[in-house]
Amino acid sequence: MDARTTPTPATRAAPGTSSGNSPGHRCSLLWHDGRIPAEDDPQPAWFHDLALDQLVASLTAGREFHDLAPLYHRHLLTSEAVIHRQDAMRDIEAEGTAAACEAFATAMRRTRDAFARTEKRYHELQKQRFLLEGLEAYCAGTANLAQALDALPLASEAFLGLRTYVADLLASDGHVALRSEVNAIVADLAAVHYDVRVYGGGFRVERHAGEHDQGAEVEELFAKFRQGDQGKRPGETRDAPQLNAIEEQILEFVARLHPKLFGRLAAAALGARDAVDRTLVRIDREIQFFLAYREAVAPMRRVGLPFCFPIVTSDKTVRGRAAFDVVLAARLVGEGRPVVTNGFDLHEGERIFLVSGPNQGGKTTFARTFGQMHHLAALGLPVPGLEAKLHLFDAIHTHFEREEQVADRRSKLEDDLVRVRSLLEAATPGSIIILNEIFSSTTLDDAVFLGSEVVRRIVALDGLCVLVTFLDELVGLSPTIVSAVSTVVPEDPARRTFEVVRRPADGRSYALSVAEKYRLTFAELSERLRF
């Protein structure tokens, strides 16, 4: 059954350590127990059939640095873990929290960009200045995050724990010293002024003697020719050019004039990467997990499509209201087209949806919606729908029709049999099984026989299942099977509503499928016979 916990501040961690936190507790927005798992999860086998691979591709676009895909691959196995993420997502859906997270992410991106620029530079002093720039962005971003979190009405254990962690980090001796030194070096470098005196074939660099600065006048004169920063992302810094030979010499002479200051710069640069708290680096990535999804569903929400936090339990009575395929909906909304929503219910003792009806009537979309909602729920994310109660599964097993390959020596029927057998061997009572149009390549009698054998095994397994099929006869095999039908407009059977409703099958889906295959529907015959 589902468990609901009252958010409480996370246990305080030892701040400022390079490893992030004490072994007893690790501050995390994603993992409720603070145990950060190793990430060796490949894309789950069900992703392609459910179009979740397309969803993850859209979520990770532009965020490649963070390698978010493994986070969307691994689903949670306990209701406590799901609730931890749901509560964190509720906090981050508020504009204030989202803005604070975006600002922190921008600061961390500036830090990374500054550090990365050192890889493309040859002069050591220029490298050191970029490293200092990265530390400056990190210190400012961390301080701003702490200030923002302190002012927000947070409720989740995850963000309350982050607030505590960042406050403790800022108060730690190591971070106080780091921030003080970085700010001091930045200020001292800004105060350095020097004169370059050119004579004959050489030049001298001297301390500034208070003479009139002609450089400012030159900059003002040419300001109107300055190129803008069009196309920059928030937080992105334009790459500075390489120093030429003259600039390098001038910089070296300036460093000789201020040996102590540039010695402090070298010391700060030497430990710059290690000074960035590893836990905050991870938190930055975890924030992206939530922000990417929030950003992806925003256009759908703006047109009125609902998203909700489902009840997630080990119970197998599931339901959904106004549910929809999130991948299909994103495309339709982008094209300005309407999205059809559907509902579903499995009551006590019911386990299998048998979905029948005419081709292109929304049956496959219904099956995908069912699978997508369960996976998204097990990630702790809002699911597409007005209200939902979903099963916390161990795995989703799918079988969708696929095109025959020339190199594949097996027939389509043999391929179906092999794949379904492997699926049934892997499935457990805690699994979700989604079968889409199995055995459609054989005769009706053989399809009924094979389909009956598969359904009996699923019934014995007691797993949840969505079975899309033209074999209406299979409904009568067990009282655990519920019939759902994709509907058409009563006055015009050729027009699909794309709505799937719970009702007894009318026995016409197979006939309609055959008629459509051979273009023998009423509408098509009328068109062909028109003189």
Dihedral-angle region of residue 272 (phi above 0 means left; psi in -120 to 50 means alpha; beta otherwise): alpha
Given a contact cutoff of 8 angstroms between Cβ atoms, the answer to whether 275 and 178 are in contact is yes
What is the C-alpha to C-alpha distance for residues 166 and 162, in angstroms, rounded to an integer?
Answer: 6
Dist. CA 25–CA 32, nearest whole Å? 10
User: Do 277 and 16 form a contact (C-beta atoms < 8 A)?
Assistant: yes
Which residue stretches of 94-123 are H helix? 95-117
Nearest to 286 by CA among 8, 31, 99, 493: 31
The CA distance from 101 to 91, in Å, is 11
- pLDDT by residue, tens only, the chain of 531 residues: 444 433 333 333 333 333 333 333 479 999 998 888 887 778 999 999 999 999 999 999 999 999 999 999 999 999 999 999 999 999 999 999 999 999 999 999 999 999 998 887 778 888 999 999 999 999 999 999 999 999 999 999 999 999 999 999 999 999 999 999 999 999 999 988 888 878 877 877 778 777 777 777 777 888 777 765 554 555 444 556 677 777 778 788 888 888 999 899 999 999 999 999 999 999 999 999 999 999 999 999 999 999 999 999 999 999 999 999 999 999 999 999 999 999 999 999 999 999 988 778 889 999 999 999 999 999 999 999 999 999 999 999 999 876 555 455 567 888 889 999 999 999 999 999 999 988 877 788 888 899 899 999 999 999 999 999 988 889 889 999 999 998 877 666 667 788 888 888 766 654 565 566 667 666 777 777 775
Strand partners, 311: 389
Please, is 346 exposed, middle or buried when counting C-beta atoms within 10 Å of its C-beta (0-12, 13-18, 19+)?
A: buried
The model's pLDDT over 84-140, given as tens digits with 9 standing for 90+, comes to: 999 999 999 999 999 999 999 999 999 999 999 888 777 888 899 999 999 999 999
Angle value at C-alpha 502, between 500 and 503, nearest 5 degrees: 115
Give the C-alpha separation, 196 to 82, whole Å.
Answer: 64
Collect all residues with Cβ–Cβ distance below 8 Å to 409 and sequence separation of at least 6.
Answer: none
CB 141 within 8 A of CB 104: yes
Angle of helix 124-151 versus helix 95-117 axis, rounded to 10: 170
Residue partners of 316: CB distance under 8 A and separation at least 6: 346, 351, 391, 462, 464
Q: What is the pLDDT of residues 429-487, one digit of tens each?
A: 999 999 998 887 778 888 889 989 999 999 999 999 999 998 888 988 999 999 999 88
Per-residue DSSP letters for 387-400? Answer: EEEEE--S-EEEEE
Q: Which of 6, 17, 467, 9 is nearest to 279 (CA)?
A: 17
